[in-house]
């Protein structure tokens, strides 16, 4: 397992894509944060409630970036044929699947943490220059929520990538799911909609550990991630690799 983890870390860190995604996510979430706050006239006073709302909005953006980190871990391997080498060392695919999930979750945590920190610093500077106030303790819960949500999105991505394999269809499916399908489906499925991944990610990002809703949402999202990873692993074992 240690060998697979090391290999997966190297895979993540030896191309520029992960760094590009991290920088893009950080810049985008910081601008979104600044933009949302700047809708009100200065001076700006950022409270726990506003951080929660900001976390909910950025949960989707960061979630997409983390989902892409996860999706790419299998699809890139199929695209360039490196899956043969990976499967050769672990024909059972168990260690590979777990290692990819752990490493992508770790990568997503780092990506989310960088985004959260940059957004936090930008907002702090903004409020300081406007003569407003910054309730620093209110940042912690949404920040943790964004990191945990990002990690789970990455694991969902790993599972989805293992199921679909092809980079473009996998990416389209992931984006459609988060941006379109959940929104279209929500009015038709009523209260069940709150158990969909995007909804749960938003609940988590509004403030982890603050209410039983957050714990339930985290549990549901873990279940989504575990289910997709399991389906992906089963698919890998059953299908021909080439």
Partner 1 sequence: MIDNRQKRIGRKTYEHMPRQDRLRTESNHQIGAVNDMTTTIEHPVASDLVTQPAISVDQLTKRYGDRNVVDTLSFSIPRGVVTGFLGPNGSGKTTTIRMIFGLIHATSGTALVDGRPFATLPDPAGQAGILIDGAGAHPKRSAHNHLRIIAAERSVASARVDEVLDIVGLAGDAQRRVGPYSLGMRQRLDLATALLAEPQLLVLDEPANGLDPAGILWLRTFLRSFAAMGGSVFVSSHQLAELSLLADEIVVINHGRLVTHTGVGQLISAGHIQVRTAQVDDLTSALKQAGASVQPVSNDRIEVREIPIEQVGSIAAAVGAVLYELTPSANTLEEAFLELTNTKGEKS
Q: CA torsion 212→217→220→224, rounded to 10°?
A: -160
Q: Which stretch binds partner 1 (CB under 8 A): 20-28, 75-83, 146-154, 227-235?
A: 75-83
Number of CB atoms found within 10 A of residue 125's CB: 12
| 10 is a contact residue toward partner 1 (CB under 8 A) | yes
| 23 is a contact residue toward partner 1 (CB under 8 A) | no
For partner 1, which residue of 23, 36, 87, 117 counts as binding (CB under 8 A)?
87
Q: Which stretch binds partner 1 (CB under 8 A): 81-89, 110-118, 123-131, 205-213?
A: 81-89
DSSP string for 120-173: HHHHHHHHHHHT-EE-THHHHHHHHHHHHHHHHHHHHHHHHHHHH-SHHHHHHH
**Is residue 45 helix, strand or coil?**
strand
Read off the tokens for 220.
């549901």
Instruction: Compute the least distance from the CB of residue 98 to partner 1, in Å.
Output: 14
Instruction: Compute the least distance from the CB of residue 62 to partner 1, in Å.
Output: 24
Instruction: Compute the least distance from the CB of residue 94 to partner 1, in Å.
Output: 11
**Is residue 175 helix, strand or coil?**
helix
For partner 1, which residue of 80, 129, 172, 180 counts as binding (CB under 8 A)?
80
Q: Residue 43, preceding bond cis, omega within 30 degrees?
A: yes
| 191 is a contact residue toward partner 1 (CB under 8 A) | no
Number of CB atoms found within 10 A of residue 210's CB: 14
For partner 1, which residue of 43, 49, 85, 172 counts as binding (CB under 8 A)?
85
Binding site for partner 1 (CB under 8 A): 3-4, 6-7, 10-11, 14-17, 76, 80-82, 84-92, 240-242
């Amino acid at each position: 397992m240690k060998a697979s983890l090391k290999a997966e870390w190297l895979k993540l860190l030896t191309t520029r894509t992960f760094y590009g995604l991290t920088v893009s996510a950080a810049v985008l979430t910081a601008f979104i944060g600044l933009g949302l706050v700047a809708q009100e006239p200065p001076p700006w006073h950022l409270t726990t409630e506003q951080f929660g709302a900001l976390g909910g909005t950025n949960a989707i953006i960061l979630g997409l970036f983390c989902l892409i980190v996860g999706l790419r871990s299998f699809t890139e391997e199929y695209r360039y044929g490196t899956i043969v080498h990976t499967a050769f060392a672990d024909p059972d695919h168990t260690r590979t699947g777990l290692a990819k999930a752990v490493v992508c979750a770790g990568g997503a945590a780092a990506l989310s943490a960088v985004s959260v920190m940059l957004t936090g610093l930008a907002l702090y500077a903004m409020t300081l220059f406007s003569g407003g106030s910054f309730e620093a303790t209110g940042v912690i819960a949404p920040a943790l929520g964004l990191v945990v949500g990002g990690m789970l999105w990455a694991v969902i991505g790993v599972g989805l990538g293992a199921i679909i394999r092809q980079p473009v269809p996998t990416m389209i499916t992931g984006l459609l799911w988060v941006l379109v399908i959940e929104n279209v489906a929500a009015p038709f499925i009523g209260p069940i909609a709150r158990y969909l991944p995007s909804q749960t990610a938003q609940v988590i990002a509004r403030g982890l550990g603050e209410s039983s809703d957050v714990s339930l949402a985290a549990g549901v999202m873990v279940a989504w991630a575990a289910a997709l990873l399991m389906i992906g692993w089963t698919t890998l074992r059953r299908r021909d690799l080439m």
